[in-house]
Amino acid sequence: SAVISQKPSRDICQRGTSLTIQCQVDSQVTMMFWYRQQPGQSLTLIATANQGSEATYESGFVIDKFPISRPNLTFSTLTVSNMSPEDSSIYLCSVVGKTNEQFFGPGTRLTVL
Amino acid sequence: DAKTTQPTSMDCAEGRAANLPCNHSTISGNEYVYWYRQIHSQGPQYIIHGLKNNETNEMASLIITEDRKSSTLILPHATLRDTAVYYCIVPFQGTYKYIFGTGTRLKVLA
């Protein structure tokens, strides 16, 4: 299984600012995903981030709000831009394993005031 | 929308088997069923997956019906640490994209 770390683990931010979340994997992986989990809700897929190509966003999510970088096979960042209280969520990254299961990071808990 | 439906919540006595059902009536012939659990807002943890045959690993067993329209995750001897939200997921064919439903909130009772 892949070991995934995320930074920061949590943060409290002011409205209108931006936060960049890092996702680091202990092995090279092609496919990486970013999810959001709003309070009391299930996970929602934000985008697919494959190395060497632009991220693919799901309906309701746009690049201007959630820009993603994928500079190599072990690392990705998700930025939450121009934040509002509605962006308060847990943000998680995941990678696809050898038998197509997904391994998830521990999440970044974001609170926007 | 998620391709699976699960009961919202279940209780299980500690030490007893927990049987968590999942319906996936629109599953296609080569789509797998994956199970995960999420303990108190941690990242979801992979449990098991299967296609047609029943599967067992150190965490759980997965029973898939012959028509593949439903499955059951079995935790043979539930402990308090198994209290979590359990998700049954069928990725869209040809993709690795997960659409999470509401899952089943399992509470293991002492």
- Whether residue B96 and residue A90 make contact (CB cut-off 8 A), yes or no, is no
Per residue in B32-83, pLDDT (tens digit) is 999 999 998 799 999 999 999 899 999 999 999 999 999 999 999 999 999 9
* Residues within 8 A of B (CB atoms), A 59-88 only: none
pLDDT value, residue B2: 65
Mean pLDDT of B95-100: 84
d(CA A58, CA A51): 18
Which residues have a Cβ under 8 Å from the Cβ of B83 and sit 6 or more positions away? B39, B106, B107, B108
Per residue in B5-40, pLDDT (tens digit) is 999 999 999 999 999 999 999 888 788 999 999 998
- Whether residue B91 and residue A107 make contact (CB cut-off 8 A), yes or no, is no
Strand order through the sheet with B70-75? B18-23, B70-75, B61-64, B55-56
